[in-house]
Structure 1
Amino acid sequence: MGAVTGVYPVFNNVFKIGADKNSAKTVADMESFSVAIDGNVEEWTPMEQEGWVRRLKTGCGITISLSGKRNIGDIGNDFVAGLAYKTGQDSEAYFEWVMPDGTTIAIENAVINVTAGGGDSTNVEPLEFEVMSNGKPTITTTEDTTTGK
């Protein structure tokens, strides 16, 4: 998939997960995702600002939530499902998000939190999980790849 310009369908986003970058695979049957960016903002009110607040973003975190169906036999889907009952560093994985414009966010030791399964007898089994940053991710933009920065 080349870089997309203009508006685009959400399915143009690509997500890969695995024990490491070389083993990372897409997760079949994912239907939706959402992104939450958590910024840590420090505030102070110096006298020279005459009551106006100053702010500085001092930290950042990202959580990507994916929701879809459990697909036994798909490498990526099986990998995620296998993390459901893991704790500590055993629940960490390599995660990569390739956006339609070519920007890539890679998280080496992402914390994977499987959050849902089950359902009615006539439902298709869901697979829902959160990918949480664990340290600074590697963000590569299309500008970085074209200019070599």
Structure 2
Amino acid sequence: MAMNTGVYPVYENKFKVGTRGRASEEGDMAAIAELETFEVSIDGNTVEWSPMEMQGWLRRMVTGKALTITLTGKRCLGDAGNDYVAQSAWTTGDGCASKFEWEFPSGAKLAFDCVLNVTNPGGGESRDVAILEVEVMSDGKPTFTPALEG
């Protein structure tokens, strides 16, 4: 895939979840239907120190990171990705562990082991469409694959 350039609409981001948990392989990765919004939070662990040669100024180094992607959409019965995420609301431990892929509009991809923390598996007002909300939390170092230039 050639690398896209320029501005882009948010809907060009693509998200997939492994429907067989951590045992998921490429064929088990499923898009999650009916997503509406996503937020990304990167939590950096920063260490600070103040060596004398810096004359009172601090030195800093990021020594660790964690990634959380919060996805919000509608509950869609019968969609493999949506169903897998929603059912993890009722599990703990390995039942919440899976694999996740984020394909950027540029063609680059971020893949990682994750923990699914479903915060709303179908609530809403009586005249609304049921909601699905989940925090996809990294579990270990992700693999970033740059877009192919061409």
**TM exceeding 0.5:** yes
Aligned to 2:119: 115
- Whole-angstrom distance in 2 between the partners of 1:2 and 1:95: 22
Answer yes or no: is 1:90 the counterpart of 2:64.
Answer: no
- Output the CA distance in 1 between the equivalents of 2:65 and 2:102: 17
Q: Greater RCO between the two (CA within 8 Å, min separation 6)?
A: 2
Instruction: Give the percent of matched residue pairs that are identical in Structure 1 and Structure 2.
Output: 50
Q: What amino acid is the match of 2:75? A: R
Give the counterpart of 1:30 among 35, 41, 47. 35
TM-score, normalization by structure 2: 0.91
**SS of the counterpart of 1:93?**
strand
Runs of 4+ with deviation above 4 angstroms: none
The code of the aligned residue for 1:75 comes to A
Aligned length: 144
Q: Distance in 1 between matches of 2:76 and 2:2?
A: 27
Q: How does 1:104-143 map to 2 (within 5 A)?
A: 104-107=109-112, 109-116=113-120, 117-142=122-147
- Normalising by structure 1, report the TM-score: 0.91
Distance change >3 Å, CA 2–CA 68, structure 1 → 2: farther
Structure 2 residue ranges without an equivalent (≥5): none
CA RMSD of aligned residues (A): 1.5
Corresponding residue for residue 15 of structure 1? 15
